[in-house]
Amino acid sequence: MASRDSDVRPPAVAGQFYPAEPARLRGQVLRLLEEATPPAAPLPKALIAPHAGYMYSGAVAAAAFATLRERPQAIERVVLIGPAHYVAVRGVAVPSVAAFETPLGRVPMDRDGLDALAGLPFIVRADAPHAPEHALEVELPFLQQLLPDFRLLPLVVGDAQPQEVADLLAAVWSGPETLIVISSDLSHFHDYRTAQRLDGATAQAVERGDWAAIGPNEACGCLAVAGLLIEASRRGVKARRLALCNSGDTAGSRDRVVGYGAWRFDGRAQA
C-alpha cells in the first residue's frame, strides 16, 4: 500500500499504468527486460524512454533500460526528467520530499543534485506538479529492478526553454556514476500510418541532434528531449536508436495511436 508519510511522494498511477502488487510488478518488469535484446555496448550516459502504460510502451521502455544490465552497480544517481501533464509549472519543478515510492519500495532524493540546481532562476521547489505525474513514476520500477542502489533527481518541465533544460543538465552531468533519463512519448492520436511517418521524422531529428525540429506535436517531452540534445551536442555524445513503434503495434486500435521511441546516448565526457 502507498505510504502516507508526508515526506514521501507515494505512487499515483500504480494499478493503472502498471501493477500495484509488488510481485506482479516485479514479474512484469523482469519479463519485459528479458525480452529486450540491446546491442553490446558500454553503459550509456543518457536514455530516452516512453512513459505510457506498460501494456502499450513497456517493451520500448525495456529496450532502453536493458542497456543498464551489464554494469548497473556503476550508476549511483539518476537524473529523471519529464513533462508536466497535469499541473502547470513556470520553469522546472523539483520536489521537497525525501523520497519517491513505488510498490517496489522507496528511492531517496539526490540532495547534492538539488543543491546544485538551487541557484538556477527557472528552478522552482514544488511538490504539486510531481504528485499526480506519471511520466517519471512509470520509469522507476525499471530502475529499481536494475540498479542496486541509487539516488534520484526528479525534474518536471513546464513552461521552460530548451536551453534552460540544457543548462540544468550541464550542472548535474557529472561522471559515469550519473545516468540521465528523459521520459517522453512521441506523436499522439494520429492514425497508424500518419504516426509512423511523423515518428520516423522525429527519430531522425533526435539522431542528428536537430532539437529545433522537435515540438509538442512530435513529443510530449519535447523540451526535455531538446535540452538533452543541446547538451549532448556540446559534449560530443550521440544518440543511437533502440526501438520505435506505436500503440497500434502493441495494444489498442490503429485509428488513434501514440508513438514510442527509445534511444541511448553513448559517451562518457566528464563534467
119 found inside a domain: yes
Q: What is the DSSP letter of 188?
A: E
271 falls in which pLDDT band (50, 70, 90)? very low
Instruction: Quote the domain boundaries for residue 174.
Output: 50-181+193-266
Indicate whether 120 belongs to any domain.
yes
Q: Is residue 7 part of a domain?
A: no
Judge whether 96 lies within some domain. Answer: yes
- Does residue 68 form part of some domain? yes
d(CA 22, CA 34): 18
Residue 202 belongs to a domain: yes
In terms of residues, how long is the chain?
Answer: 271
CA-CA distances (angstroms) from residue 146 to 34, 125, 187, 202?
Answer: 12, 29, 28, 29
Question: Which amino acid is it at 191?
Answer: D
**Does 92 fall in a domain?**
yes
What total of structural domains would you count in the chain? 1
Whole-angstrom Cα distance, residue 140 to residue 107? 9
What's residue 41's pLDDT? 80
Which residues are CB-neighbours of 62 under 8 A, at least 6 positions away? 29, 32, 33, 35, 36, 142
Which residue's entry shows cell 500495484?
20
Query: Which CATH number covers residue 156?
Result: 3.40.830.10
Q: Which helix (H) or strand (E) holds 4?
A: none
Most distant pair of Cα atoms in the chain: their distance: 47
Residues in Cβ contact with 60 at an 8 Å cutoff, skipping those fewer than 6 apart = 49, 50, 242, 243, 244, 245, 260, 261, 262
Give a yes or no: residue 5 inside a domain: no
pLDDT computed for residue 226 by the predictor: 98
pLDDT digits (tens, 9 = 90+) for 187-239: 999 999 999 999 999 999 999 999 999 999 999 999 999 999 999 999 999 99
Residue 270 has pLDDT above 80, yes or no: no
Q: What is the pLDDT of residues 64-104, one digit of tens each?
A: 999 999 889 999 999 999 999 999 999 999 999 999 999 99
Shortest CA distance to 185 belongs to which of 194, 195, 177? Answer: 195
